[in-house]
Amino acid sequence: MRLSRYFLPVLKETPKEAEIISHQLMLRAGMIKQQAAGSYTWLPLGFKVLNKVVRIIEEEQNRSGAIQLLMPTVQSADLWKESGRYDAYGKEMLRIEDRHERQMLFGPTNEEMITDVFRTYVRSYKDLPLNLYHIQWKFRDEVRPRFGTMRSREFLMKDAYSFDLDEAGARAAFYRMFVAYLRTFSRMGLTGIPMRADTGPIGGDLSYEFHVLADTGESQVYLHKDLAGKTIPPIDTDYRGDLKPIFDDWTSLFAATDEMTDEAGFKAAVPEDKQLSARGIEVGHIFCFGSKYSEPMKATVTGPDGKDVLVQMGSYGIGPTRLVPAIIEAFHDEAGIVWPVSVAPFEAVVINLKVGDAESDAASMKLYGELQAAGIDALYDDRDQGAGGKFATADLIGIPYQLIIGPRGLKEGQVEIKHRKSGERETLPIGDAVKKLVSLIVPQRLDTI
Ligand code: 5CA
């Protein structure tokens, strides 16, 4: 992408309405624009990051055996009356009436709709286990939408729903998602720490929230320090095998939100030198709720003995539009965002210091082309502007590597690479630059670990 033709409305000033750093930086870097309270347009740069986050989620969901579909945003109230949640959901649900005076709603979640899909088609235990997921916009009329896309009213959710013959099957499905979640957050450079949590309006008695630790997090969390450095299950984890040992290993160390414990309970459970009391951002939440929906909605399958049984269900959410600011909370400095390569909007930016100088233009275009040919997601800053402004933009929008090309270096046959994270700059022969960038970038995509 050539920056001169891109749409990147960066702001010089920090907008006053933004309280936390991720919200400030998303506005300044031209990633989002507020439309109404808790409702945002994703501008091109933001949308590019969001898509990378979504792609990682999809890859890990697919790897775990979940199958993607897509359900509508606007739902019929009838299904929610069947489950009994239409009245129970209260004011957070945006209720709509169509021209025929039928009651509709903008979906805050999809347990009812997926249960309806299931009961329409699935008849036999032989079709189980089944896990269906989608990535779709939700609307919740939050009392306090705030912090930009961190807590918005319209937000994107990955929601998966599992169906099993019995409780043991439902548990195994829960473990598969648990492992997929650990891998998903880790591929974005984050540690998503699973914590016992309250089930709220989704229901059931077993649930874990995944929290990213950050001072600006909305939840108070208590955990055993060793959870932060634990090994993540690798790419070749066998999702058909028994994943309970991984679940047991992670959950044997204490971690809970303040809805599930208090300071006294925490202090009694964790040795003093291992106690970590922190703020957390809830980036995922998984639930196991048995027949809470299958019973009122009569979702059954024929079991091995020929008798009908209620299907055992769970649901599993991740918030992609919350993950983007959560990643920024974890990775930024005074100059701006410092994206991990795996979610960076561009992996490298070619900075032409002297647009209009024939040699600089030719070398920049050549290297930009070679980077693209090598599969690098590259941006080319070809704007006719001073070097200071270009560096400031590249730092602000957080591109992991800057390839700096100017007449002085070219005379010596040299270019420079700046590492955004460390600030380190290295000079190297022009012919080595692309190879060097590929060797730096590819391993950090974390798509083979
Ligand atoms: N049906 C279940 C799981 S599929 C469910 O709705 N769970 S949830 O309510 O916990 O939401 C799942 C995830 O969506 C949360 O962990 C969070 O990452 C994200 N999320 C929830 N509310 C918001 C919001 N207002 N803004 C941004 N993300 C949100």
Q: Kindly state if the Cβ of 321 falls inside 6 Å of ligand 1.
A: yes
Residue 205 is predicted with a pLDDT of 78
Q: Whose CA is nearest to atom 15 of ligand 1?
A: 284
CA of 163 to the centre of ligand 1 (A): 20
Q: What is the position in ligand 1's atom list of the atom closest to the CA of 284?
A: 16
Residue 339: pLDDT band by 50, 70, 90 thresholds?
A: very high
d(CA 258, CA 249): 22
CA of 305 to the centre of ligand 1 (A): 38
278-284-286-292 Cα dihedral, nearest 10 degrees: 110
pTM: 0.97
* Ligand 1 binding pocket includes 53 (Cβ within 6 Å): no
Are 158 and 53 in contact by the 8 Å Cβ rule? The answer is no
**Tokens read off for 207:** 């649930």
CB distance 202 to ligand 1 below 6 Å? yes
Q: State if residue 416 touches ligand 1 by the CB under 6 angstroms criterion.
A: no
Torsions phi, psi for 110 (to 5 deg):
-130, 25
282-321 pLDDT tens trace: 999 999 999 999 999 999 999 999 999 999 999 999 999 9
Q: Evaluate: CB of 61 within 6 angstroms of ligand 1.
A: no
pLDDT at 275: 97
Q: Is the CB of 195 under 6 A from ligand 1?
A: no
Of all protein residues, the one whose alpha carbon is nearest to atom 23 of ligand 1 is 151
The rounded Å distance from CA 108 to ligand 1 centre is 9
85 lines ligand 1 (CB under 6 A): no
Q: Is the pLDDT of residue 203 over 80?
A: no
Give the pLDDT confidence of 373-418 residue by residue, as tens digits: 999 999 999 999 999 999 999 999 999 999 999 999 999 999 999 9
Considering only CA atoms, give the Rg of the chain.
24
Q: Look at ligand 1, atom 17, and give the residue with the nearest C-alpha.
A: 319
> Closest Cα to atom 12, ligand 1: which residue?
317
Q: What is the residue-averaged pLDDT of the chain?
A: 97
Residue 330 has pLDDT above 90, yes or no: yes
Give the SS3 label for residue 431: helix
Asked if the model's pLDDT at residue 150 lies above 90, the reply is yes
Cβ–ligand 1 distance for 322 under 6 Å, the answer yes
Q: What percentage of the chain exceeds 70 in pLDDT?
A: 100
Query: Measured from the CA of 319, which atom of ligand 1 is nearest?
Result: 18
Say what the pLDDT of residue 204 is.
78
Q: Which atom of ligand 1 is nearest to the CA of 210?
A: 16
Pocket of ligand 1 contains residue 164 by CB under 6 Å: no
Which residue intervals of 188-305 are DSSP H helices?
244-251, 263-269
Give the residue whose CA is nearest to atom 6 of ligand 1: 109
* Residue 201 binned pLDDT confidence (cut-offs 50, 70, 90): confident
Whole-number Å distance between alpha carbons of 86 and 103:
10
Ligand 1 atom nearest the C-alpha of 140 is 25
Q: Assess whether the C-beta atom of 112 lies below 6 angstroms from ligand 1.
A: no
220 band by pLDDT with thresholds 50, 70 and 90: very high
Compute the average pLDDT of residues 7-25.
95
Q: Which of 110, 135, 285 to mutate to test the pocket of ligand 1 (most atoms within 8 A of CB)?
A: 285
Q: Is the pLDDT of residue 202 over 90?
A: no
Residue 399 dihedral angles phi and psi, to the nearest 5°: -65, 130
DSSP string, 201-223: GG--SEEEEEEEE-TT-SEEEEE
**Nearest-atom index, ligand 1, CA of 157:** 14
Cβ atoms of residues 299 and 293 within 8 Å? yes
242 φ/ψ sector (left φ>0, alpha ψ -120 to 50, else beta):
beta
In angstroms, what is the span from residue 325 Cα to ligand 1's centroid? 14
Task: Specify the DSSP class assigned to residue 342.
Answer: G
